[in-house]
Amino acid sequence: MRYIRTVNHLEGLNDAQKRAVLATDGPVSVLAGAGSGKTRVLTTRIYHLVREGVPAHQILAVTFTNKAAREMRERVRAMLSAPHEATQNKRQAVSQDGVPFIATFHGLGRELLESYGKVIGIPRFFSVYDRDDSEKAIARALKALDVGAKELSPRAVLGRISRYKGEGMRAQEFYEKYAQSGFSARITAEVWLRYEKTLVAEKALDFDDLIALPVRLLEERADLRELAQNRWRYLHIDEYQDTNELQERLAGLLAEKHKNLFVVGDGDQSIYGWRGAKMENILNFEKKYPGAVTIILEHNYRSTKNLVDAANVVIEKNKNRKEKYSITENAVGEPITIHMARSAEDEARWIALKIRALMRNGVAPEEIAVLFRTNFQSRALEEGLLRAGVPYKLLGTRFFARKEVKDALAWMRLAMDPSREVDKIRAAAAPARGIGRVTLGKLFEGQRSQLRAGELAKVEQFELVVNELSQAALSLVPSEFVKLVIEKSGMRRVLLEEGSAEDRERFENVEELASVAARHDGMPGKEGIAAFLTEAALASDQDEMDLPPTRSGQENEKTGVMLMTVHAAKGLEFNTVFVSGMEEGLFPHQGMGDENNRDEEEERRLFYVAMTRAKERLFLTLARVRKIYGSDYASEPSSFLADIDGSLILYDETDGETIIEA
């Protein structure tokens, strides 16, 4: 008999990690410091439950990004497929009884609504408005009320609606409560009512509906609540400090019967208070769930000792936190480098040339990140990287927000539901086929008989293509369906065969859409296409990392330095990290303290997140003078720099030319 070496799934875990994995019953809170192996704990615990006899399909795990969900899913799948102690004579899965459901909160909401939503009138195949779709709908509602963007911006109105939806409020409730509270509140109330009518007409939901509606469903229907509770008896939630009120309520509803709620988080990395996240959800977990087990993961496996010590000193300045001190057995490592440049342009040049030197010494560009506090900083940084010939990816220039990609997605949604007017307007113009808004308006108003012969012929040809795609959607896997959409819509002909060099570049983005859709090829037909369309609508900045660079200093470059905000870097790690703009008023941001902005402790938590993304090297840069809104401002070093022990710092005063010569 051939012996197959098996691996004990607890091997290599420290004592605290083992306790977390083995704490299988009842509520458990794991306070996981940066780099403490929380993902390994989560995946190992899921494997352990299955190994102990829990059917895999009764296990639920929730995280915050599609990227994190995919990675967790792949890890769990690999563990369940590996040999283990009980099966040394053959390779077989621990369980053949389904797989755990691992998704984002929005993915979980979609699953609940697709399963049970028909009782509150939710169609089986609903579409999901992304933020751009929602902003445009809000803009149309504002225009109908004769309110200009300068008076009240669509983004601001959407932000307010989103905030109140996250607290469980409905449009009519908001109208009754706030419509008489002043201009802004009155307009928001009226816009919200119009916006909800648009969503209903389009058979669409927005981001917030994917959480609010499942909560409403489970709270109002005890029978459906019990079905969901029995469906998933073990619930895991990652990044619990980032949950808002509704997400926390959803978790509580699902865990109410069996009490098996396992949450992982770190109050020190709570950086989304501005969008409704409540750090108190993890700080007060034991109060809400009496008898809960609390386990602290303090061992940092990611960063050097210098980096861990510096991060500890910084975050300990905060008062509103649970006591936690990270330790590491990693090497001491390099000191933190601080560089003060003359201007933002000089700062960017210094960073770019330092990166070139690191790359020349063997550091891969994808292992380097340049972080910034606010989006306007990216301009100078991009220019610096371009001039130095450093390849990079800019997160925030979202792949799914590009015109050609949104055009293809509109065609796909229209094929799923040919009655969608918004998508019909977009698809008819992508590519243009002589069907204007006036013609479409007559169709929408039931005036088809008033169309001229030429107009009618164009409309009928367009409808023929849509119907052909609708039929194809019943059987094709998502990636093949995307390819068919590209062909039948005419996008291939216009962008690739007849287009300019720029058009051909856009066609590459459309082609990439098929590669992304292939992730859902395991579900053929409308099920898979609907899942893909939802993923596209809910894509976060981090999901863009798996796609080709948005720009590059070199042609055909497939990898690049990651350029992103600190917020976007949450959950990621890199060999080398540059944090730019370390100036008072910029980081920490000047708006801190205002009730509508971040407070000082959240800003410090944000800096802590930035520091702990680095594994080996951390560079903190600033400019003496920075141009903001066209004017030069003298800068003072960030107060956060003074928090770092001087023994952990190296001040680098070299200029770019010195770096090149080194």
Catalogue the active-site residues: 38-39, 238-239, 269, 613
β-bridge partners, 204: 127
Distance of alpha carbon 18 from alpha carbon 23, whole angstroms: 8
Concatenating the DSSP letter of every residue in 170-188 gives: -HHHHHHHHTTS-HHHHHH
Strands (DSSP E) along 121-255, which ranges?
127-128, 204-205, 234-237
Distance of alpha carbon 428 from alpha carbon 458, whole angstroms: 10
Torsion of CA 548, 549, 554, 556, to 10 degrees: 10
Query: Could you give the 3-state DSSP secondary structure of residue 320?
Result: coil
| CA nearest neighbour of 82 among 6, 3, 1 | 6
Structure tokens at 302: 């990611």
Work out the number of other CB atoms within 10 angstroms of the CB of residue 124.
13
Distance of alpha carbon 492 from alpha carbon 272, whole angstroms: 41
User: Is 416 within 8 Å of 130 (Cβ atoms)?
Assistant: no
Query: Could you give the 3-state DSSP secondary structure of residue 108?
Result: helix
User: Is 92 within 8 Å of 105 (Cβ atoms)?
Assistant: no
Structure tokens at 629: 């809104």
Q: What is the identity of the amino acid at 202?
A: E
User: Is 430 within 8 Å of 436 (Cβ atoms)?
Assistant: no
Structure tokens at 637: 């070093």
User: Is 652 within 8 Å of 339 (Cβ atoms)?
Assistant: yes
User: Is 94 within 8 Å of 47 (Cβ atoms)?
Assistant: yes
